[in-house]
Structure 1
Amino acid sequence: MDGRYKTLTMSQTALILSKYPLDISLVERTPPQVGPGSAVIRVLAANVLSYAANVYSGRRPYPHPTPFVPGSTAIGRIAALGSDATLLQPGQLVFFDCFIVGRDDPTSLILHGLHSGTTPGSAKLAEGEWRDSTYAEYAMVPLENCFPLDETRLLGDLGYQVEDLMYLSAMSVPFGGLRDVGVKAGEKVIISPATGTFGGAAVITALAMGARVVAMGRNADALERVKALNPDRIRIVLNTGDVTADTNELTKDGPADVFLDISPPEAVASTHMQSCILALRREGRASLMGGQRGLVALPILEIMRYNLNVRGKWMYTKEDVRVLINLAETGYFKLGPAGGIATPTAFPLKDFVAAFEVAAENQGFGGGAVIAP
């Protein structure tokens, strides 16, 4: 038998969500056993989304079979490898990406430990091997979702903490959308809303890609904090709800090349979608990554007249993740305090309620919480 194929025999602690709403308990259980196509990672830090409590309480009704180990993207070390692994090595530091895609069907998509998708194939992924996620000492994950990290460079030369690396999770989402519409250095990019977890990450990501940023939102104080990241390359615009006035403000230094929407579900009635699209130049591009539920008004006539390219984008590709990690390792994407990103607070498994609360209270540029089993 290949020496990388290892059986884990010790016990481990894990969080189990037995049923909705928020019936979560800390239990002792046998670690997952690795097989072909998978790896078992020792979880060092697992991301806690700002809306995690809303999901696991049922207030944001994401589908997922119960019982299961909740979780998200994580930083970990390889503890065991399937016999078909060719690159990864035991003990290696890796970024585990929670966005799992069916190997034989790219329309089967799940968010590990969070959302079981919308198709029968997706549900099968969530009900089977990939049911349990990373709020545990050990997690079994697909080989292709483990991305090697240059530990010497990231934790040594650049001086990051493991928790700092978790911000790659927030950056990966807007990076996928911005790459999808081909953002180029020097272009003007509108980010709206720009003050939440993913909006803030989008601002940092667009800056790192060489763009000028117009950050739009409803909270004036939060927008000022966004501008402080880079006053020379960030301009802020308050969303007043007046489409004409907001469009004029967005375009006072010329039309934009790109608009990235990354709205929460509650923003379905917001007028920013119209004003930001109207602020685009001819042949401009819009990347729609928001979670609005329901119908959203779009300026169809202007989209047609100005040959605008409006694309929907859910999450990112594996190539996006590889490029993002490379940019972090080379120092183009700065993490932690060096990049204006607060290091998140690490909580043990038993303090998951506090972790959910801190994550909800600290949206924007880092901070928040991770679970460190």
Structure 2
Amino acid sequence: MKAAILKSLGQPLAIEQIPAPELGTGEVIVDVVAAPVLPYANEVFSGERRYSMELPIVPGCGAIGRVRASGPDATHLKVGDWVFCDPTVRSRDDALMPDITLQGWSARSEGGLRLQRFYHDGPLAEMIRMPTENAIRIGDIDPTDAARWCALVVLLVPYGGLLAASLQAGETLLVSGATGNFGSACVAVALAMGARCVVAPGRNQKVLDDLQRRFGERVRTVRLSGDEDEDRARMLLAAPGPIDCVLDLLPPSAPTKVVRTALMTVRPYGRVILMGGVGMLGGDELSLPYPWLMRNDITVRGKWMCPPEAVTRMAGLIRAGLLDLGHFDVTTFALDAANEAVDHAAAHGGPFNITVIQP
């Protein structure tokens, strides 16, 4: 089969023929129909992001495809089923503390790296081998819509955070990093879940105006000035009432004071979810005042990715018409043009833009 291969950091992807994956027990082979290229893929492939992966590797992070073959442990999957290829692979030998690898993308801890050595290659290829539980049915779709369904990769990350926060219909959410790729998706998902209001701070006025245009009065935008006290006061003023939850999705380049400014808008007994990349490239650590956390009974939780059932629930939100994939502008590339796709994704990584490779 044909695949795009990252052989060394800082070098272009090599488009080559490699052996097709072989099916094992507990596994599924999926024909990849569409695989997204994340806006920061160039930073991963250059080594700038310092992701833990062993080369060479067929990279990628999630895909839409159709089941080609499944093992004896699959009791529902059928050949031809449309599935989301969930990249979050969890070890099966410790239900309490499973190691995790993002297949074709990154590993968490030494255990995750060991897992990556087995479930190594990602979806920038004609086929992918993955654990049975990671091929999650999404129901019948028009083949011409497969690329647009790749928006799941972007939507599921903040959805995982909102589920971890137990966001309830009628609550007010503040999205730190709302003008980014994942942050803007978080705005859409929170509204689909019934949020009363989403406060969306950011520096990019064009994106803030676009969020307001797309979603109307339930989104309250705040242009950040860089002054911590002033920005916090303006966020609180924008909200129609107490802010129940803050979800941070800021990238590694953001300073920690911007994170702190947003987090400390949450009400007493409120929840804070950390999902961004701040601190991954070094620099200051996030500092929050102990007395404020303790006396206001604030819950702070880190969250990476989403639980498996999130895919099924997200597909339900889409099919119910609560979440519109039509928000996303999609640009597709053939597998032979994988390097051009990586460059395009980096240059067009704004909100509601997705770049997709269709093998």
Matched, 1:238 2:223: yes
Report the 3-state secondary structure (helix = DSSP H, G, I; strand = E; otherwise coil) of the residue aligned with 2:120: coil
TM-superposed CA distance for 1:348, in Å, is: 0.8
Give 3-state SS (helix, strand or coil) of 1:132's partner.
Answer: coil
Q: Deviations over 1:125-157 (max 9, x none)?
A: 1112x1111111011111101111211xx439x
Kindly tell me: are residues 198 and 183 of structure 1, through their superposed partners in 2, closer, same or farther at Cα, counting changes over 3 Å? same
Are 2:111 and 1:126 equivalent residues in the alignment? no
Confirm whether residue 197 of structure 1 aligns to residue 181 of structure 2. Answer: yes
- 2:307 aligns with 317
Would you say 1:165 and 2:149 are equivalent positions? yes
Identity across the alignment (%): 36
Contact 1:96/1:147 (<8 A) preserved = yes
Residue aligning to 1:76: 65
In the aligned structure 2, how far is the partner of 1:241 from the partner of 1:297? 17
Q: Distance in 2 between matches of 1:239 and 1:300?
A: 25
1:298 has 2:309 as partner: no
Cα RMSD of the aligned pairs, angstroms, is 1.6
5 Å-filtered alignment, 1:346-365, equals: 346-365=332-351
Q: Distance in 1 between matches of 2:342 and 2:114?
A: 28
Q: Which has the higher contact order (CA 8 A, sep 6+)?
A: 2
2:215 is equivalent to residue 225 of structure 1: no
For 1:265, the equivalent position in structure 2 comes to 252
What's the CA shift for 1:282?
1.4
Q: Name the structure 1 match of 2:272.
A: 286
Is the contact made by 2:81 and 2:139 (CA closer than 8 Å) also made in structure 1?
A: no
**Equivalent residue number for residue 107 of structure 2:** 116
In the TM superposition, structure 1's runs of 4+ consecutive aligned residues that sit over 6 Å from their partners are: none
Contact 1:358 / 1:368 at 8 angstroms: preserved in 2?
no
Partner of 2:331: 345
Distance in 2 (CA, whole Å) between partners of 1:289 and 1:30 is 36
Spell out, residue by residue over 1:159-204, the C-alpha distance to the aligned partner (whole angstroms, 9 max, x if none).
x711111111111110110111111111110001111110111111
In the superposition, the TM-score normalised over structure 1's length comes to: 0.90
The counterpart of 1:249, out of the listed 234, 247, 256, is 234
Q: Is residue 183 from structure 1 mapped to residue 167 from structure 2 by the alignment?
A: yes
Equivalents in 2 of 1:140, 1:311: separation in Å?
A: 32
8 Å CA contact 1:41, 1:80 repeated in 2:
yes
Q: Deviations over 1:215-244 (max 9, x none)?
A: 011212221112111121101012222121
The question of whether the paired residues in 1 share the 8 Å contact of 2:273 and 2:303 is answered with yes
| 1:39 lines up with 2:39 in the alignment | no
Q: Which of the numbers 92, 101, 114 marks the counterpart of 1:103? A: 92
CA–CA distance in structure 2, aligned partners of residues 260 and 122 of structure 1: 26
State the alpha-carbon separation in 2 of the partners of residues 147 and 99 from structure 1.
Answer: 12
CA distance in 1, matches of 2:296, 2:223: 25
| 1:37-76 → structure 2 map (5 Å cutoff) | 37-76=26-65
Q: Shift of the alpha carbon at 1:270?
A: 4.0
For 1:263, the aligned partner's letter is: L
Mapping of 1:79-94 within 5 angstroms? Answer: 79-94=68-83
Kept in 2: contact 1:198–1:364 (CA 8 A): no
Structure 2 SS opposite 1:360: helix
What do residues 43-94 of structure 1 show as CA deviations (whole Å, max 9, x unaligned)? 0001111100110111222111111211110000011111221110001111
Unaligned runs of 5+ in 1: 1-11
Q: Secondary structure at the match of 1:75?
A: strand
Letter in 2 for 1:202: C
Would you say the 8 A contact 1:361–1:368 is kept in 2? Answer: no
2-structure distance, mates of 1:251, 1:30? 56
Provide the TM-score with structure 2 as the length reference.
0.93
CA contact (8 A) 1:22 1:58 kept: no
Contact 1:201 1:365 in 2 (8 A): yes
**1:34–1:274 distance in 2 versus 1, CA, 3 Å:** same
Q: Cα distance, 1:23 vs. partner?
A: 4.5
Tell me, yes or no, if the aligned pair for 1:181 and 1:287 is still in contact at 8 Å: yes
Answer whether contact 2:328 2:354 (CA < 8 A) is retained. Answer: no
**Residue identity in the other structure for 1:333:** L
Equivalent position amino acid for 1:323 in 2: R
* Partner residue in 1 for 2:190: 206
Q: Give the C-alpha shift of residue 317 in structure 1.
A: 0.7
Separation in 2, partners of 1:143, 1:328: 24
Q: Which amino acid aligns with 1:372?
A: Q
CA distance in 1, matches of 2:256, 2:18: 46
C-alpha distance in structure 2 between counterparts of 1:60 and 1:350, whole Å: 25
Please say if residues 92 and 98 of structure 2, whose CA atoms lie closer than 8 Å, have aligned partners that are also in contact: no
2:41 partner letter: A
Distance in structure 2 (CA, Å) of the matches to 1:305 and 1:276: 18
Question: Which secondary structure does the structure 1 equivalent of 2:32 belong to?
Answer: strand
Is residue 9 of structure 2 the alignment partner of residue 20 of structure 1? yes
1:328 to 308, 318, 321: 318
